[in-house]
């Protein structure tokens, strides 16, 4: 039996298989509100046969957006817009849906990638950014404001309120974004966090905000819904956040009731030196998996079914997540099931497309 197509439990949520669709920013929202693009995008990914679909990084406050076009979940209007999209997707797909809650910190206020992705100053449609310390991501960016204790409390409350909204919409899972150089990762990394209060300095202090936000989100979300965390296992910069610190964070999160750890890397510093190749981030997931007893999700140029199967059989992770690969091939789980001799769920409207050589592929 294919390990990739065996069920797995995250917290109290059972998934049909171990393929997750990772959050992918679309930069297509209207003042934070989901649009027709999200209905189309999420709708067709929800027909892919994956075990889980996690909605893109959704800002918990307007200043937490990466770009002005980012999806948000910070007020009634953004909640309602996303709720309508989720309801439409659910009419035709039973795939569990999660959401990634995020704040971009000093990496906020940038242009969409297809417009160059550069920093936007207020006169260009951007806004004043904030961060653990007044250290910009790039030297050419505006200097972020160092967060006061009062602003930290406001951001914590924004995560709590966003989680309540996501729960109310009926989403099945919450992922807190502490990766890719965004705000919580900025607090974790000594390269970005130069504070001298109880949120900076020691590893315990640098982990404090992520643990506090996790604890509060877990408290307000329905008990049967898993809450997990996305981390960057390393900054890929000497003296920065690394695997050993990631293991310390993961074990602390596990002790707080974290349902899963989703392991990525990088994004904190332009000085990063990443050796990109197939499975290039999988060893980090393996390192975390050795230290915790909760499910670990691996990512990183996992493109072939046999490759994904091997990651699981080699006990390097409990699930694999695809992002760009799923955009390139939105039926990747179908094709993987065909190669691995497994079955996959597909909408009945598409049953007629089942190739003769793989009859019985679709669950009926």
Q: What's the count of helices (H) and strands (E) in the chain, helices before strands?
A: 10, 14
The rounded distance, in Å, linking the Cα atoms of 94 and 302 is 25
DSSP, residue by residue, 201-222? SSHHHHHHHHHHHHHHHHHHS-
The rounded distance, in Å, linking the Cα atoms of 276 and 344 is 31
| CB 73, CB 176: distance < 8 Å | no
The rounded distance, in Å, linking the Cα atoms of 202 and 13 is 35
Q: Is the dihedral of CA 188, 190, 195, 199 positive or negative?
A: positive
Q: Where are the beta strands (DSSP E) in the chain?
A: 8-10, 13-15, 19-21, 52-59, 97-102, 130-131, 145-146, 173-178, 227-232, 261-264, 296-298, 319-322, 344-345, 362-363
Q: Two tokens at 23?
A: 């959050």
The CB density around residue 26, as the number of other CB atoms within 10 Å, is 19
Active site residues: 182
| CB 211, CB 231: distance < 8 Å | no
- To which residue do tokens 């991501």 refer? 137
The 3-state DSSP class for residue 174 equals strand
């Amino acid at each position: 039996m294919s390990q990739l197509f065996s069920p797995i439990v995250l917290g109290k949520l059972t998934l049909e298989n171990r393929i997750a669709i990772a959050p992918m920013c679309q930069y297509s929202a209207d003042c934070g509100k989901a649009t027709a693009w999200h209905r189309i995008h999420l709708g067709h990914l929800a027909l892919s046969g994956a075990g889980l679909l996690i909605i893109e990084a959704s800002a918990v406050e307007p200043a937490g957006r990466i770009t002005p076009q980012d999806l948000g979940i910070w007020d009634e209007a953004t909640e309602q817009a996303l709720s309508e999209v989720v309801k439409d997707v659910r009419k035709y797909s039973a795939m569990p849906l999660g959401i990634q809650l995020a704040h971009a910190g000093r990496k906020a206020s940038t242009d969409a990638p297809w417009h160059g992705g550069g920093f936007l100053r207020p006169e260009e449609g951007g806004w004043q950014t904030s961060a653990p310390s007044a250290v910009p991501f790039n030297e050419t960016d505006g200097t972020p404001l160092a967060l006061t204790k009062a602003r930290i409390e406001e951001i914590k409350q924004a995560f709590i309120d966003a989680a309540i909204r996501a729960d109310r919409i009926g989403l099945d899972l919450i992922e807190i974004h502490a990766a890719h150089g965004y705000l919580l990762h900025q607090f974790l990394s000594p390269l970005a966090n130069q504070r001298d209060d109880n949120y900076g300095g020691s590893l315990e202090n640098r982990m404090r905000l992520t643990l506090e936000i996790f604890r509060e989100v877990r408290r307000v979300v329905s008990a049967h819904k898993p809450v997990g965390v996305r981390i960057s296992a390393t900054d890929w910069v000497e003296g920065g956040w690394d695997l050993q610190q990631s293991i310390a964070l993961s074990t602390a999160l596990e002790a707080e009731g974290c349902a899963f750890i989703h392991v990525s890397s990088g994004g904190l510093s332009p000085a990063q030196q990443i050796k990109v190749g197939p499975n290039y981030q999988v060893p980090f997931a393996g390192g975390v998996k050795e230290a915790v007893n909760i499910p670990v999700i691996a990512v990183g140029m996992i493109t072939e079914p046999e490759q994904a199967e091997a990651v699981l059989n080699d006990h390097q992770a409990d699930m694999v997540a695809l992002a760009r690969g799923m955009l390139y091939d939105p039926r990747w789980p179908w094709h993987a099931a065909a190669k691995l001799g497994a079955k996959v769920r597909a909408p009945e409207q598409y049953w007629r497309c089942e190739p003769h050589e793989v009859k019985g592929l679709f669950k009926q």
